[in-house]
Amino acid sequence: MIEVRGLWYSYGEIVALRNVSLKIELGEVVAIMGENGAGKTTLIKHFNGLLKPQRGYVKVFGVDTREVTVAELSRRVGLIFQNPDHQLFAETVWDEIAFALKNFGFPKDVIERRVEWALKLLDLYSLKDESPFALSGGERKRVAIASVLSYDPDIIIFDEPTVGQDYAQKERLAQLIKLLQSQGKTVVVVTHDIEFVAENFPRVVVLSRGEVIADGATRKILTDNEILEKARLLPPQVTQIAWELSDFGVPRDLLWLPEIRDAILKIVGGRL
């Protein structure tokens, strides 16, 4: 699906990516994490050709991204920017979501059906006639997401999707990711929200100073203090509590609230 090999990219004298290699398979759900300036956004912009490798290569569906246009890649790779204002331009929410469908030549009845579906999915239907720029930051973010989901790309990439979203909207986003995965979509999410990752992602890629320093199972990576410190990430709250209680027999690799609850009850029950 996505293959990155020996990727280097610089902005002038600033090296953003250093010899990055990774592979994301069809249908995977992957989180990319790291401190500010680690190269996360630079990396995902290579997935749809917005940036081209200076050294190494990126292949999507087996095609070198240097050999195709952004427009060609965008039909199969949807990227939702961190700042929705960099993505929105239409006069109404409806027009914003319909734009890509019209541009890709979908029939009118399909456009209407897909736009209505996306509006309802992202809780935007009541705002369909509003200007995107009159909405809150969280609402604009959801419009940007809807504008990509409407044309049904094979790969969906989110850059910091939980920023500006309350708990209910984060839960809605988590359910959306599960829905996309059930449809066989590949989902890549750049985020600093470690609790969101702990609860919803099986795999994490960690970047630091432009290099991949960890890539693997979420439980293994997010409970490894050495990796987290190197990437300047705080562990999930449940993990922090588990570490504090490890002297009492609580395992150190816990991520979820039910796990630590059960671990504590087991210890307490064994001592009664």
pLDDT in tens, 92-132: 999 999 999 998 999 999 999 999 999 999 989 999 999 99
The CATH number for 194's domain is 3.40.50.300
Q: What count of other Cβ atoms lies within 10 Å of the Cβ of residue 229?
A: 11
What is the number of domains present in the chain? Answer: 2
Q: What is the pLDDT of residue 76?
A: 93
Q: Are residues 164 and 51 in the same domain?
A: yes
Q: Which of 217, 243, 261 is the last residue of a domain?
A: 217
* Confidence grade of residue 208 (pLDDT, cut at 50, 70, 90): very high
Q: How does pLDDT run across 249-272, given as a tens digit for each residue?
A: 999 999 999 999 999 998 887 664
Closest CA to 138 of 109, 114, 167, 97: 167
Q: Are residues 29 and 145 in the same domain?
A: no
CB 54 within 8 A of CB 15: no
Q: Name the average pLDDT for the chain.
A: 93
Q: Are residues 55 and 189 in the same domain?
A: yes
Q: What is the pLDDT of residue 272?
A: 46
State the Cα–Cα distance between residues 32 and 194, nearest whole angstrom.
10
Q: Are residues 111 and 15 in the same domain?
A: no
Q: Are residues 72 and 29 in the same domain?
A: yes
Q: Which of 201, 217, 233 is the last residue of a domain?
A: 217
Closest CA to 146 of 193, 92, 72: 92
Q: Are residues 105 and 159 in the same domain?
A: no
Q: How does pLDDT run across 39-60, given as a tens digit for each residue?
A: 999 999 999 999 999 999 999 9
Q: Which of 100, 132, 152 is the last residue of a domain?
A: 152
- Say if residue 203's pLDDT is above 90: yes
By residue range, what is the domain housing residue 90?
83-152
Is residue 254 in some structural domain? no
